[in-house]
Structure 1
Amino acid sequence: MSIPATIDAAAFTREWEDWHAAHERRRADPHGFLAVTGLFWLSEEPTAVPGLPGLWSTGAEGPTVELAHDEELIVEGATVGGTHRFGPIAERDGVTVGFSGGVVEVATRGGRGILRPRRSDFAFLRAYAGTPVYPADPGWRVPARFVRFIAPRSIEVGAAVDGLSHVYDSPGYAEFAIDGEVFRLLAFPGHRPGELFILFTDATSGVTTYAANRTVTIEVADDSDDTVIDFNRAVNLPCAYTDFATCPLPPAENRLRIAVEAGEKTPSDRVEGVFSATGIVPSGRL
């Protein structure tokens, strides 16, 4: 891509390097996603989960754990024992509670209750050395126009785990041009007001970048349709690193024919799991 005349390439690279270094630090948090040691589905039958205290189940009242007299969890800073009911947990929401040796995420994905233990001493996290990337290129910082739908559209997409799906209310799409060709990408609500995220694949997917998906964030103001897609900030989702993720897959509309040679590449290592009826645990290959 050509470098826009108004951009200082050296300053752009320094800013991107600072941003990506901060992103890597968040990714490698001691209780972040690289510390996840398994993925377990809850049922109505109280069941022991490897490495966790208690018997876990779920039902109309949400997830429940039954702790033995010598077992405990830390929930919202308080020590709990006996039977603890978490209450209903909304889709894509969750709570994190402490146990001896780590924390466990109690969440809902695809309408199902799940547990994901996280340990700071997990071998994959300890060995993580960073994600390969394309060099920062100002040419991949692309002006775009955000086109709003009259009303948000419910979009169902697949998930990294078979049998699950995700539904998002898309407020619209980002429209942009590269080499004279116009493209459109559906956007979904982000974590903060004015922030949207875009799931996509492109011609590099499965070649130099992760095959299933990447994501890039854009900012949209209420009083303007102008935005920017900085593909240099296209990053991997957790499913690029581990079988324990339930990440969404891009909608069909977001599969670009062009090669977006910017952003993060395929990680050099990942956690592979052994699948069973009750969950996924490491296969021994990290």
Structure 2
Amino acid sequence: MPVVEHLEGQWREWRHARVAELTRPYGWTSLVAQHWLEEGSAPRELDLLPGTWSVENGAVIFTPPADGPTLSVNGEHQRTPVEIVHGRNQSFGHGKSVAVYFGDLEVETIDRTTDSGSPIFAVRVRDPRVSASKDFSGLSAFDYNPNWRIPVTFTPTPRDDVQAVTVEPGVRETTTWIGTIAFEHGGSTYDLTIIGKDSAQGVTPVAHVRDLTSGNETYGAGRVVNLEWADEAGERIDFVDFNYLVALPCAFTNFVTCPLVPRENHVDFAIDAGEKRPDQDVDRVTTFR
């Protein structure tokens, strides 16, 4: 294992980047709207956006207005109906989505399911002026502690798409389970289910955890930590560093569908490492009716 000075120095650089990430122009804290659509519903207008919106055969369709401002999709102004492909443009799960703007606003679509399994879709709007106005100088973390960099054994499993309950009542989000990690703490062995996040760089293994600090010193809906593959094949994980735990996006915005922590990942000890609870709480308001 690298010496403590190296580990702590790398963590400090990462921590600075983490806080900066929260105020990037089209990051999580720029979200200002989340409009829900269902298959077969009549085309409708959406606040902040031009034209009308509908879902056809699982695709979100934007129909431009007869005249006036319209969306820019992949660098071109649209004058005819066009599909806005699901996926975040600049982060995990971007898929085949492209850049979509309306003036300063960025637009994206997502696909989810209801509790009964019916497909639903949302159009999200991001405003860079909102994220620029945020102040995260009070967002703190526990001091780096090398004891929370713990050896693990990864056991891969066949990819399993699970419809997870989310912070948005009535809405479920697909999370892909790819295996488990086992580690020891306080004389006991623990297993955590690992989620695989698809990105342009491949699959990133992620642990979503709730511990005895959750809801007190740290965010109540749990925290996540990205893990590192120890091999190019993506079959081995050697350690988890809980110093890199961060709050979920729903700690900072209402316009998301963060999955709840799987029951398998509730641990019976306090992880006093990683990011602490934000100094301002988000009042959850239901966007899905």
Where on the TM-score scale, by shorter chain, does this alignment land: which range? 0.7 to 0.9
TM alignment of 1:108-119, pairs within 5 A:
108-110=111-113, 111-119=119-127
Aligned 8 A contact 2:193 2:264 in 1: yes
CA distance in 2, matches of 1:119, 1:276: 18
Separation in 2, partners of 1:73, 1:17? 40
Deviation of the 1:205 alpha carbon: 0.4
Tell me, in whole angstroms, the C-alpha distance in 2 between the residues paired with 1:90 and 1:128.
27
| Amino acid aligned to 2:249 | P
Inter-partner Cα distance in structure 1 for 2:234 and 2:16: 32
Task: Report if the CA contact (8 A) 2:169-2:286 is conserved.
Answer: no
- 1:263-286 residue CA offsets vs partner (Å, 9 max, x unmatched): 1111112444654666xxxxxxxx
Q: 2:176 & 2:128 partners in 1: Cα distance?
A: 35
RMSD, aligned CA: 2.4
User: 1:96, 1:106 within 8 Å by CA — same for their partners in 2?
Assistant: no
- Quick one: distance in 2 between partners of 1:100 and 1:231? 40
TM-score (norm 1): 0.85
Match of 2:175 in 1: 168
Q: Which amino acid aligns with 1:246?
A: T
Q: Provide closer, same or farther for how the CA distance between residues 38 and 147 of structure 1 changes in structure 2, counting only shifts above 3 A.
A: same
Identity percentage of aligned residues: 26
Question: 5+ unaligned residues in a row in structure 2: which ranges?
Answer: 114-118
Q: Do the aligned partners of residues 108 and 258 (structure 1) sit closer, same or farther apart at CA in structure 2, a change above 3 Å counting?
A: same
Which of 42, 47, 64 aligns to 1:45? It is 42
TM-score (norm 2): 0.84
Is the aligned partner of 1:217 residue 2:237?
no
Structure 1, unmatched stretches of 5+, are 1-5, 279-286
Deviation track 1:27-84 (CA, whole Å, cap 9, x = no partner) reads: 2111111000111102322222111111111121511122221121111111112422
The amino acid across from 1:238 in the alignment is P
Asked if 2 retains the 8 angstrom alpha-carbon contact of 1:157 and 1:165, the reply is yes
Using the TM superposition, name which of 55-64 and 237-246 deviates more: 55-64
Q: Does 1:101 align with 2:112?
A: no
1:255 to 246, 260, 266: 266
The 3-state SS of whatever aligns with 2:62 is strand
CA distance in 2 between counterparts of 1:156 and 1:165 reads: 6
How far off its partner does 1:238 sit? 0.7
Structure 1 pair 276/167, CA: closer, same or farther in 2 (3 Å)? closer
Deviation at 1:226, TM superposition (A): 4.8
CA contact (8 A) 1:95 1:106 kept: no
SS in 2 for 1:20: helix
Match of 2:208, SS state, is strand
Give the conservation status (yes or no) of the 8 Å contact 1:242–1:270. no
Q: Deviations along 1:96-149, whole A, 9 cap, x unmatched?
A: 410023111122233321111111112x64122242211111111111111223
CA distance in 2, matches of 1:249, 1:31: 24
Counterpart of 1:158 in structure 2 is: 165
Shift of 1:24: 2.1
**Structure 1 residues 202-211 or 98-107, which shifts more?**
98-107
Q: Is the 8 A contact 2:251 2:282 kept in 1?
A: no
Counterpart selection for 1:31 from 26, 31, 38: 26
Q: Judge conservation of contact 2:171–2:288 (CA < 8 Å) in 1.
A: no
For 1:50, the aligned partner's letter is D
The separation in 2 between residues aligned to 1:134 and 1:115, in whole angstroms, is 36
Which residue does the alignment assign to 2:210? 201
Match in the other structure for 1:284: none
CA distance in 2, matches of 1:13, 1:175: 24
- Secondary structure at 2:106 match in 1: strand
Matched-pair contact (CA < 8 Å) for 1:194–1:219: no
Structure-2 change in CA distance of 1:107 and 1:169 (3 Å): closer
Could you say what secondary structure the match of 1:248 adopts? coil
Give secondary structure in 1 for the equivalent of 2:26: coil
Q: Could you tell me which residue of structure 1 aligns to residue 64 of structure 2? A: 67
Q: Which amino acid aligns with 2:7?
A: F
CA distance in 2, matches of 1:117, 1:224: 37
The correspondence of residues 222-233 of structure 1 with structure 2, limited to 5 A, is: 222=233, 225-233=236-244
